[in-house]
Structure 1
Amino acid sequence: MGTDPEDSGNDEQVEWGKQELSPSEIEQKVKEYNAQINSNLFMALNKDGSYTGFIKVQFKLVRPVSVPPPRKATSPQDGGRRPTGMKRRTSFYLPKDTAKHLHISSRTRAREVIEALLNKFTVVDNPRKFALFERSERHGQVYLRKLSDDERPLHLRLCAGPSEKILSLVLKENETGEVNWDAFTVPELHNFLCILQREEEEHVKQIVQRYARARDKMREALASTTPG
């Protein structure tokens, strides 16, 4: 178990995914679920016994993600062809409060949800670098459990109900230890270095500005002070 506070307290984990529901129980739970929400994110039963609905996934990524570079218009001199060679990528950090709603089926697996999320943001990183987690809060503690590839997130949502405290879904890196930088390509590593350099320069700029403001205030105070 790691030092992440969200990894604490797994001894009382409620295993929503192991709850097998009969068709009548599914129908009843769908009605109860829809009665508890105050939005149009309802669940719907299908004739084949499956059901569809929305899940919300929060992004809790600590590393940048890679997306294709913006497409540049080709000139007539290029003959309408794009240059060949190494595929370039653009890397950036997703904001910490990023979240996405997905409309899925009760048959949709966790691995398919991850792939759909990456496609929504045009992320070109290998989906195996990411994992879907089930997060819950009980008795003042946060519980986090990694979903297996074949688990069905909408089934978890239905069994737990709509409360985000009882259950929420989180996308994180598929690692628990140190970052394995050898798993990244050379262009990705170069992009990471550029991002770190920009962040360092921005932090230095903020610190210099803060000290400059403090120095100006001290000088103003000295100028307004009467000797003696």
Structure 2
Amino acid sequence: MSKRKKISRKKLTLRKKIYRCLSYFLLFFCGITFFFRFIPIPFSAYMAQQKIVSLLEGKSIDLRYKWVNIGNISKHMQSAVIAAEDQRFFDHYGFDFGAIQHALKHNKKSTKVRGGSTISQQTVKNLYLWHGQNWFRKGLEVPLTLLLETLWSKKRILEVYLNIAEFGKGIFGVEAASRHYFKKSAKNLTREEAALLAAVLPNPIIFRVNQPSAYVKRKQRWILQQMHQLGYRH
């Protein structure tokens, strides 16, 4: 057998292995995503990442997390995150290309990086992937977001997002956040409280609910205005 044929056969074998791995990957996530369509999420990949990192650093972090159904989450909170994070949430299929294009134009001119991720993309990132900026993670995010949009309703995506989003160091989900910051259940959040929680996303470590900066207060007011203009679409 010639050297060229051997190389060609090796490439073909490697390609088959890659396709097989991708098939197993998609089958696994199809199964688990379908399963998670019906049950409360026990924990997210990002929660696990936070716990592992803290252990490797020799620290101990207590994760605060309590799942609640969307019926027990204030309508104000649901509207606030849509107004703040993804105003076309009910109109797109996982990706807002207008927002992505706008973010790319902004990032070329500014040192402050702006993201164009939808609530669906952020749900995938928190649930299955890891935080960080690299093309490999972004590449995985695309098919998983499409899978989520295919197997889940918009209501379920919003429910999971609100339950696993980080609202402070070790504070995951709106129920844990509401009890920690306002000493009440998420179903009793006011418009102002909901807008304040939404204002710290997606950087709740830099921007704090209990010590809101002037920027966070301005964003809270902007979110309240957007909520009023958009109305309750869900």
Structure 1 length normalisation: TM-score?
0.27
Higher strand share: 1
Structure 2 length normalisation: TM-score?
0.26
Higher helix share: 2
